[in-house]
Amino acid sequence: MIIRDFKLSDIDDVLAIEYDAFSDPYPVDILIRLHESGAGFIVAEMGRRVVGYVIFWIRNGIGHIIAIAVDENFQNMRIGSRLLDKAIQILFANKIFTVGLEVRKSNVNAINFYLKKGFVQVSEEDEYYGDGEAAIIMQYTKSNN
Ligand SMILES: CC(C)(COP(=O)(O)OP(=O)(O)OC[C@H]1O[C@@H](n2cnc3c(N)ncnc32)[C@H](O)[C@@H]1OP(=O)(O)O)[C@@H](O)C(=O)NCCC(=O)NCCS
C-alpha cells in the first residue's frame, strides 16, 4: 500500500468511497476546492486504486480532520490508521500539536476508531448536522508538547 498526496485523477475513486461512507457526502466541487485551497489531502493506494483518504487543514492554530474514509472492502486493515497517523505527522511537522474533529454521535465505529487512535471526547454539540444529529467533538493532543 502506498500513502501519497491526492491528485485530481483520484477524484472518481474518492467520490465513490465518500458516497458509500456518508449519508451527507461532500460534493465533488467542495472536495476539489479543498484540494485547490491547500488542505491536506492524502490517499491510500492499493493496486493502482485509491482505497481510502483523509482531508485535513489548520484553522486558528489547530489541526482539523475534515474527512476520513476507507473503502468498506478494505476496512479493518489498518488503512484508516495509517492515513490518520500521516495527517497527524504532517500537522506535528508544522508545529500543530492539537487536532480536532467532529463525528456523528451514532457513528460508534468511527468513535471507537478515534478512541483507539488516542483521541478523547471533549464535548458534544446538539443538532450539529443538517438532519439534527448531535456531533461528538474529539481532540488529540501531543503528549509531551
Ligand atoms: C473509521 C474508518 C476510517 C476506520 O478505518 P479502518 O481502516 O477500517 O481502521 P483500522 O483498520 O486502521 O483500525 C484502527 C483501529 O481502530 C479499530 N476499529 C476500526 N474499525 C472499528 C470498528 N468498526 N469498531 C471498533 N473498532 C474499530 C480497529 O480495531 C483498530 O484497532 P487496533 O489498532 O487495536 O487493531 C473506517 O471504518 C471508515 O471509513 N468508516 C466509514 C467512514 C467514517 O465513518 N469516517 C469517519 C467519519 S468522522
Q: Of 67, 39, 56, 58, whose CA–CA distance to 96 is shortest? A: 58
Q: Which domains does the chain have, with CATH numbers?
A: 2-141 (3.40.630.30)
| DSSP code for 90 | H
Using the atom order of ligand 1, give the atom closest to the CA of residue 101. Answer: 48
- Mean pLDDT of the region 30-36: 97
Of the candidates 78, 105, 91, 102, the one whose C-alpha atom is nearest the C-alpha of residue 142 is 91
Residue nearest to atom 4 of ligand 1 (CA): 80
| Residue type present at position 55 | I
118 lines ligand 1 (CB under 6 A): no
CB 73 within 8 A of CB 104: no
Is the C-alpha dihedral spanning 29, 35, 39, 41 positive or negative?
A: positive
* Distance from chain centroid for Cα 40: 10
Average pLDDT over residues 37-47: 96
Is ligand 1 within 6 A of the CB of residue 33?
no
State the pLDDT at residue 145. 47
Burial (CB count <10 Å: 0-12, 13-18, 19+), residue 143: exposed
In this prediction, what percent of the chain has a pLDDT beyond 90? 97
pLDDT value at residue 16: 97
For the full predicted model, state whether its pTM sits above 0.75. Answer: yes
137 lines ligand 1 (CB under 6 A): no
The CA distance from 57 to 99, in Å, is: 10
